[in-house]
Amino acid sequence: MNDTTTTTKNGTWVAFGDAGAVGSIHRMEDGYLVRLLGDEQVRPVYPSLEVAKSALVAALPSGSGRPEFREH
């Protein structure tokens, strides 16, 4: 699992669960934006990559395992 926080200006991390991709995190100028696949809910921009990862995990259906985050 790649949970390393990075200081890159732009970046995308894709969250992979048992059945494939479940969401993504996008580095923005002012923080990190979380998107779940198939979800159109507007979510806040989070201040750090770790907080964004926690928010993505919390938004998954109950019983989902923690996804693996891969930087792209």
Q: Break the chain into its structural domains and give their ranges.
A: 1-39
Neighbours of 22 (CB within 10 A): 22
Model's pTM, two decimal places? 0.83
Alpha carbons 44 and 66: distance in angstroms, whole number: 21
Coil, helix or strand for 10?
Answer: coil
For 28-68, write each residue's pLDDT tens digit: 999 999 999 999 998 999 999 999 999 999 999 999 999 99
Between 39 and 4, whose confidence is greater?
A: 39
Q: What is the dihedral of CA 32, 38, 42, 43, to 10 degrees?
A: -40
pLDDT band at 10 (very low <50, low <70, confident <90, very high): confident
